């Protein structure tokens, strides 16, 4: 499991926050999730999911690195 900052607490962000972090719409993120192109969601309840913030940041960093390739 990836953790944020002090390696003891995993920070979770909502779908809305993940969309804001990536500048993608929620529907696009859901499409990427369905295609296996975005980090897996953490189920929190019957209709609620979140994402590990560090995994979303890693996904963003990978997109940035790919542009230089």
* Share of residues in the chain with pLDDT > 90 (%): 83
Answer yes or no: is 2 within a domain. Answer: no
Answer yes or no: is 21 within a domain. Answer: yes
**How far is it, in rounded angstroms, from Cα 25 to Cα 36?**
16
pTM score, two decimals?
A: 0.84
Q: Band of the pLDDT at 68, cuts 50, 70, 90?
A: confident
Answer yes or no: is 22 within a domain. Answer: yes
Q: Do residues 54 and 10 make contact, with C-beta atoms less than 8 angstroms apart?
A: yes
**Structural domain containing residue 39:** 12-68
Q: What pLDDT score was predicted for residue 7?
A: 64
Answer yes or no: is 41 within a domain. Answer: yes
Query: Order of strands across the sheet with 42-43?
Result: 12-14, 49-52, 42-43
**How far is it, in rounded angstroms, from Cα 14 to Cα 6?**
21
User: pLDDT (tens digit, 9 = 90+) per residue, 12-41?
Assistant: 999 999 999 999 999 999 999 999 999 999
- 14 CB-near residues (< 8 Å, 6+ apart): 50, 51
């Amino acid at each position: 499991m990836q953790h944020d900052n002090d390696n003891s607490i995993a920070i979770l962000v909502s779908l809305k926050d993940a969309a804001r972090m990536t500048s993608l719409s929620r529907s696009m993120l859901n499409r990427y999730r369905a295609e296996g192109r975005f980090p897996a969601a953490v189920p929190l309840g019957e209709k609620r999911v979140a994402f590990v913030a560090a995994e979303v940041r890693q996904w963003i960093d990978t997109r940035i690195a790919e542009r230089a390739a």
